[in-house]
Structure 1
Amino acid sequence: MCFAWQSDDRVDALFKILDDGGSATTQEIGGYLMELENLIPADDIKRQKKLLTLKCWNQDSDNEAKKNLAVKFAIEQESIYASEAPSDTHLELLLCKGFYLQETKLFDAALVDYNKGVKEAYQLENPKLIADALSLRGSMLSFQGEFATALEDLITAQHLYENLNLTYWANNNLHQLATSYRRLGDPQGALSYLLKLEQSYLDNHNPDEAMDTNLQIAFALEELEQHSQALEKYQSSYQYWKNKNNPLFQHIISVHLAGNLIKLGRVDEALSYLLTAKEYLKIEEDNAFSFMHLHFSQAYLIKNEPQKALEHLALAEPAFKISNNHRGLIELYNQRALVLADLNQWQQAYLALSHYTELHLEQDKSSMSMRTTEMRTRFDVNKIEKENSLLIEKQKQKEITLQALTRNESLQNIIIVLVGLILLIVSVFAYVQLKRKVRFKQLALTDELTKLANRRHCYAKANTSLKHAIKHRIPFAIISFDIDHFKRVNDQWGHDVGDKVLITMAGICTNLMRKSDIIGRVGGEEFLVVLPNANKEQALEIAERIVTSVAQAQWQHLTPDTPQTISAGVTSLTNETSLAQLLLKADQGLYSAKSAGRNCVRQV
């Protein structure tokens, strides 16, 4: 015999297991879902909705046909609950739909759902769902090379997961964050995160996640040109998935293993792995499929078979384009230029080299400026409305009070006291909710490290000030500056010292600002100063004062014998109509200052 309260306890326990993540196998998860179906009554609407979202996230998607069925299921369920938006149920189904659209390579459609999901999560003020939405969007954008938005999303999600003590999801997100740093060109920084993450997974008995992290460590080691160490990691991952009888993962890893063997000069071994993988990997596995044929091309070129090398590049290119993999296309165009040159097809080689240069410059620009056009599609968090859950709570308490009065009029005096206590509790709850709202708003607008305005907030304030200046025809200027040779600080003294340099830099600049000025950290070592009602002469004077103050500051305790300096670009409003135009001019000034030897100001 099972009492209702016992069933409820078991249901809540199963929900917690599934929400917290962990090492449950696919078979175990299927058993939990079946048990929940048997335990939850049909009229328990709240739990039935929760069960529906869990079913969505745990659809079988091992192959393309099953992925398409998962998309169909998610689309049908999301449309059913669309009228409830914003709600936890609709948001979970919306994000689930975006995830399966991403799995089927419909990246644009997935991004639309992720953007809607982020907006709805902020409306609900649910920190777990905010983190989930940002982590999903950031992971996809990182894979596509859109690092500006990706890093902002992943860093914010990381803070939320850690504050909520959600270790499993924090580790998953940290994995994506470390991978983003590696893709952005900081494999050493990524490696330090990945080694800690791998140990955490091992300590918590999550072998699959640990092995996935092991693969990312191999990528980072390979980018650091530590090919022998990378080979050991690749081989351990290959053997692990082979022992688990997972041929898909086994052959995907064999592609990366082959690429590393080519760099070690072991071309015949590489071809052996690639030929085996070729029998298994199809274009549906676009990432592995594309790199497989790229590595085939590299191997055949080394073996003086350029025609074969060219044929494999033709197979790799459409697969890279399916997944919008810019990094892969950069490698492909460079390889194509080498192959065509070997075939003495100089005009085609020049065209391939032009494509390579164009994509490479685009990628470098994204990495340096951290300002991408996706800012236009970002939602405005200041306009998000909050759902008033306190009114619902008050209504429930009123119903309880009225029922008590109806049952026994003689208890009116006691009920009055109870109502007073309830109002007090509601007031305390309202105060707590208000503090939470303020905390989340601050988190959304403030850079965690320097306590300056983050890029989103800084750009929003700058846009407001610019519109005011244009409307009233008053001066307006901005200063864009970054720390000279900041990478050397991280490389020589470590990221902890680098963080302290950023904090000190923020303090110096803040002390030099007027009350009306706005200063924000808009990139790794990049800052933006917004100067309302300042003409070009005043802006230039402020910029020179900042440069001088930084150069004369005491840096001995942080970077001995290496004083820190900055380079700055200054521009003022003339006939521009958008912030993007002013930012471009300021960046041109910044690049001119760099070219002039750094530690100086240039005005455009």
Structure 2
Amino acid sequence: MLLIHIKKLLVIIVQLILLFFIMFYCLKTSAIESHPVWLQESLDKADKLNDKNPHLAHEFVKNLKKNHSNKFSDFDFAAIYSRLATYQYYFGNFDESLTLISKSKKYMPVLKGKTGVEILLTYGSVLDAQGSADAAITVFHQAIDLAKSAQNNELISESYNVLAAIYAVNHNDIEALKYFNKAYILIAASKNELKMAYLKLNMANSYTYIKDFKKAILLQNEAIDYFKSNEYFYDEMLTIESQATTYLFAKNYDKALLSYQKVLELSKSFNDQNSQLFAFSGLSKVFLKKEEYEKSFLYWSKADELIYKVNSPYSYSSHLLIKAKLAIIKNKIKKATTAIKEAEVYLSKLDKDKNVNLFVTYFDIKIDIAMSRNDFKSAYLLLKKSSELYDNYHDVIRENTRSKYKIMFDTEQAELKNQLLEKDKKLAATELENSSHKNQIQNLVIIIAVLFIIILVYLFHKQIKTSKKLNRLANTDELTQLANRRYSFYYAERALKQSQLTAQNFSIIIFDIDHFKYVNDTFGHLAGDNVLIAVAKVASGYIREKDVLGRVGGEEFLAVLSGASSAQAYVIAQRIKLAIEDLSLEYDNRVIKVTASFGIAQFSEKQNDFVSLFQHADEYLYKAKNKGRNCIVSEFT
């Protein structure tokens, strides 16, 4: 018996020793994985400063490192460098941010906890800014997994939010929907109004990409109101940056101008050169769209003084494309060509399918350069590439438009499910659930389902109308409401092929308003616009219903005449010429009179493709100019 008791006693002693070592190890681990109280309070203060102004937070953490680095553990250094890396990302200093991330990883080789998640989120954001979207998405998924292992809902929702925003930028709205919805559920449950404002900002950017500008601006205004009322002025500035981009995409240039000017004003108060660069570039784009080229060049020059500080292929490409466009406007084709070649270095680092607008702009400028050199074949081939990319873009828009409604539906469903679950808990707790309540809930669900079906049918119908409207806008010249150059060329090529198959005549008329530069210089660009509108309206009256009239240049128009011989085209051109001669436009108590020169070409064995046909018509137009203008030239005249 004694031996048995001794054995039991030894077992208990061994168990106590093991328990002691386990407790010792846990305490040691806990000590390693937590900051000293004074440092944790300082880091919390830095995070609050970051919410208000990252520049103040940056200076605070730099001083913290400078004055107390001798007291830091590896875990402390990792947290310090992680925050400094985040601030440098905000400032657009991506190379510096990557250097600080490397230092942070050096002190935390195995990423864990809040600091590990923050390192991954900053790293992924920098990768995306440098054009590596797929690598960034992989890193953000790692951040989500790490946040889940840390059981930190705030970090999980932040990771979802950032990942959703990246998916939206890259036209993957199904994944964006999934992660926006997950972020929404967590943030709504936490009732964190600041995080909800950040979510609204990201969702507004997503709505901008799918061209629902009204919804985007509504969300941006809600975020701006929150940031402003709670004195988060830096975040207010970032949201106004987002809204400026939305107005630019929506072609509301006056409001875009005001937004960019507001960003410039706020960026100076924060001494934020990255935001100043954004404002200068945006103002240059706005004035370029408004055809105020001197102002556009002025702000482009200001942006050029800051662009070297940003290591972003997208920013560099966009900046150089503006330079090329301005050079073309000034007829400095050599400079435009040089700028395009420089832009191509940075464009090669970007995914064409994920930066459609940028590449369409690039092709349009290349087309303008080719046209200025009378290289119509190259212009035509570039136009085909641009059209293919543009068509793919519209496929993306259609898919995104459908996804847009799913975002609204799923968010509403999430709220409804939460309400029903809460209601069920209350009913279960109070034992008031009975058959009548069940019937009421079932009826409510049926009514909601019917309503959802009705709404879905309505929105689907609206989406079809929106798609048709977008297609019309994409093919229409904004000023004259005629077909734009892209659609005119596309239609002409199709019509020519059809005429070849049916052995029918096919002719085109190119006409150009004489001395149009004189009109702009003498009366102003607004008067010039009125002349273009009037000429377009008059010419449209003499074009047959089956024909297409388009504006293919500043003051140049193209009429595509299926089934018409050169002689028939001449009659049409003569009518248009006489109608333009009869125009009298009153502007600023002065009368404006204009004329036009015409070139006509007919499909033949020698001109059996659209490029050569267009080239011959253009040559006849120039002969008309040389003959003294206000006349018609074709191969038979």
Same fold (TM over 0.5): yes
Q: Which amino acid aligns with 2:371?
A: A
- Unpaired segments ≥5 residues, structure 2: 1-34, 418-444, 466-637
Q: Shift of residue 182 of structure 1?
A: 0.6
Instruction: Tell me what 1:316 maps to.
Output: 343
CA distance in 1, matches of 2:462, 2:290: 40
Specify which of 30, 39, 51 is matched with residue 22 of structure 1. 51
What do you get for the CA RMSD once the two structures are aligned? 4.3
Pairing 1:199-278 to 2, within 5 Å after superposition: 199-278=225-304
Code of the residue aligned with 1:193 in structure 2: it is: L
> Could you tell me whether the CA contact under 8 Å between 1:151 and 1:177 is conserved in 2?
no
- Worse-superposed segment, 171-180 or 299-308: 299-308
Aligned letter for 2:183?
A: A
Q: Is the 8 A contact 2:61 2:84 kept in 1?
A: no
Residue 413 of structure 2: which of 438, 441, 450 is its match? 450
1:287 aligns with 2:314: yes
The residue identity in structure 2 corresponding to 1:449 is E
Structure-1 residue corresponding to 2:362 = 332
Q: Residue 193 of structure 1: SS of its match in structure 2?
A: helix
1:253 maps to a residue whose letter is: A
Is 2:145 the partner of 1:119? yes
- Residue pair 1:188, 1:224 contacting (<8 A) in 2 also: no
1:130 equivalent in structure 2? 156
Which residue of structure 2 lines up, in the alignment, with residue 175 of structure 1? Answer: 201
The residue number in structure 2 matching 1:81 is 110
| Corresponding residue for residue 360 of structure 1 | 390
- Secondary structure (helix, strand or coil) at the match of 2:279 reads helix
The 3 A distance-change label for structure 1 pair 323 and 67 is: farther
Go from structure 1 to structure 2 and tell me whether the alpha carbon gap of 1:333 and 1:42 turns closer, same or farther (over 3 Å shift): same
Aligned residues: 391
Matched residue, 1:600: none
User: What whole-Å deviation, never above 9, does each CA across 1:511-553 have from its counterpart, x for those lacking one?
Assistant: 99xxxxxxxxxxxx98xxxxxxxxxxxxxxxxxxxxxxx6xxx
- 2:130–2:313 CA contact under 8 A, matched in 1: no
Contact 2:53 2:234 in 1 (8 A): no
1:508 aligns with 2:467: no
Query: What secondary structure, in the 3-state scheme, does the structure 1 residue paired with 2:413 have?
Result: coil
Q: Is the 8 A contact 1:11 1:40 kept in 2?
A: no
State the Cα distance separating 1:110 from its structure 2 match: 2.4
2:377 is the counterpart of 1:351: no
Of 294, 315, 324, the match for 1:297: 324
Contact 2:287 2:295 in 1 (8 A): yes
TM-score (norm 1): 0.55
Whether the 8 Å contact between 1:289 and 1:316 is mirrored in structure 2 is yes
Structure 2 CA distance for partners of 1:267 and 1:448, relative to 1, 3 Å: same
Which moved further from structure 2: 347-356 or 144-153? 144-153
Percent identity over paired residues = 16
SS in 2 for 1:318: helix
Deviations 1:564-594 (CA, angstroms, capped at 9, x unpaired):
9999xxxxxxxxxxxxxxxxxxxxxxxxxxx
Give CA-to-partner distance per residue, 1:458-496, whole Å, 9 cap, x none: xxxxxxxxxxxxxxxxxxxxxxxxxxxxxxxxxxxxxxx
- Residues 52 and 67 (structure 1), Cα distance of their counterparts in 2 relative to 1, 3 Å cut: closer
The residue number in structure 1 matching 2:428 is none
Alignment check: 8 A CA contact 1:75 1:97 kept: no
Whether the aligned pair in 1 keeps the contact of 2:364 and 2:386 (CA below 8 Å) is yes
Deviation for aligned residue 1:111: 2.2
Aligned residue runs from structure 1 range 185-196, under 5 A: 185-196=211-222
Task: Give, in angstroms, the shift of residue 146 of structure 1.
Answer: 3.6
| Matched ranges for 1:555-566 at <5 A | none
8 Å Cα contact 2:313-2:347 kept in structure 1: yes
Structure 1 residue 191 displacement after superposition = 0.9
Answer with 265-274 or 31-40: which moved more.
31-40
Structure 1 residue 127: Cα displacement: 1.7
For residues 566 and 308 of structure 1, the distance between their equivalents in structure 2, rounded to whole angstroms, comes to 44
Q: Is the 8 A contact 1:241 1:250 kept in 2?
A: yes
- Equivalent position SS for 2:412: coil
Query: Which of 166, 178, 187 pairs up with 1:140?
Result: 166
- Choose which of 60, 67, 75 in structure 2 pairs with 1:31: 60
Instruction: Give, as a single letter, the amino acid of the residue that structure 1 aligns with 2:319.
Output: M
How far 1:252 moved relative to its partner?
3.0
TM-fit CA distance, 1:277: 2.4
Report SS of the residue matched to 2:411: coil
Q: Shift of the alpha carbon at 1:258?
A: 0.8
Give the CA deviation at 1:216.
1.9
Unaligned runs of 5+ in 1: 1-6, 373-443, 455-502, 513-524, 527-549, 568-604
Mark the CA change 1:74 to 1:329 in structure 2 (over 3 Å): closer, same or farther: farther
Partners of 1:164 and 1:40 in 2: how far apart?
Answer: 35
Runs of 4+ in 1 over 6 A off after TM superposition: 36-43, 503-506, 509-512, 562-567
CA gap of 1:151–1:304, structure 2 versus 1, over 3 A, is farther
Classify the secondary structure of the residue corresponding to 1:58. Answer: helix
Distance 1:248 1:11 in 2: 30
Matched to 1:318, the amino acid is V
Q: SS of the residue aligned with 1:132?
A: helix
Give the corresponding residue for 1:401: none
Q: By how many angstroms is 1:270 displaced?
A: 0.6
Quick one: structure 1 residues 565 and 154, their matched pair in 2 at CA, closer, same or farther if it must change by over 3 Å?
closer
Q: Find the counterpart in structure 1 of residue 176 from structure 2.
A: 150
Q: In the aligned structure 2, how far is the partner of 1:243 from the partner of 1:90?
A: 33
Q: 1: distance between equivalents of 2:271 and 2:43?
A: 30
Larger of the two Rg values belongs to structure: 2
